Amino acid sequence: MLKTRFTEEFGIEHPIVCGGMTAVGRAELIAAVAEAGALGFLAALTQPTPEDLTREIARVRELTDKPFGVNLTILPTVNPVPYDEYRDAIVDSGVKIVETAGSNPEPHLPTFKAAGVKVIHKAVAVRHALKAERLGVDAISIDGFECAGHPGEDDIPGLVLINAAARKLRIPIIASGGIADGAGLVAALALGADAVNMGTRFVATTEAPVHENVKQQIVANDERATALIFRQFHNTARVARNAISDEITELSRRPGATFADIAHLASGERGRREVLGNGDMDGGLWWAGQAQGLIDEVLSCREVVDSIIADAEQIIEKRLAHMRS
């Protein structure tokens, strides 16, 4: 068993996290991650209302008595989101671990702290991580350039970013981006992280609430099968490469292109409905990281976690130990 500051301070068996994923971070997946001894985060805003989030939290508790958390992603939106109400639903439900992402979590920290909630903040740059540490968060999840979603605009891969963060942060660090196996866990620990976060690997599990075509596509894809979009709009996103991402790339290269030119293709609702729901792999955008190249089969969450821990322990105890003279 691998013990770190993260497992000790957050009461988790293994130093593995399944971060909040829109439309994917639902009760059945998060409970399975918890039962495997890792830490999973429900995606709060996947639930249409704070009341729905309360019910989803209760559904997780029906499936597991182990620790889990809730992700609250704070972003500018066309239609205002009642973030305070989602926050209060988390607190009132007795959840003790929260993952914040997107904008500054400062307005919500006093409420979380008063309720004894530990806060992990996701960051894509050391400077942002240091600011979150000063604000009083309990841990940082640092996203390298390999990750799915929004890796920021600095293009710093995990091999450098995790190490750079570990040199300056005092609180536990969760390494994210490009990690899907035991070797990735060992590498992250060697760089100074206290745990790893995986998204794409947990999408390719039997419990993930997405169409089977999505899981099999992740297995079929290699490390080159992603695309970076929205770069010229300073909102870079890494997605699985498909016909829609290719069309967005082509349209975005045209002189004078604006986001309005691609909005119909980039719709999150379209991706959730056509890809995650219906299994049309060219029906919309869907998120996946370069870790696709490390995923060879669809497994249960327990199989994923157990194999990663077993492989990591073998690497540490045998491969690395034998290198010492």
- Determine the average pLDDT of the residues in 60-83: 92
Per the CB < 8 A criterion, the answer to whether 196 and 176 are in contact is yes
- Determine the average pLDDT of the residues in 203-229: 98
DSSP codes of every residue in 167-232:
HH--S-EEEESS--SHHHHHHHHHHT-SEEE-SHHHHTBTTSSS-HHHHHHHHH--TT-EEEE-GG
- Determine the average pLDDT of the residues in 91-110: 96
Q: Which CATH code fits 5-209+296-323?
A: 3.20.20.70
The 3-state DSSP class for residue 66 equals coil
Amino acid at 318: K
Per the CB < 8 A criterion, the answer to whether 244 and 283 are in contact is yes
Q: What is the pTM of this model?
A: 0.95
- The tens digit of pLDDT for each residue in 270-301 reads 999 999 999 999 999 999 999 999 999 999 99
Length of the chain measured in residues: 325
Domain layout of the chain by residue ranges: 5-209+296-323, 226-287
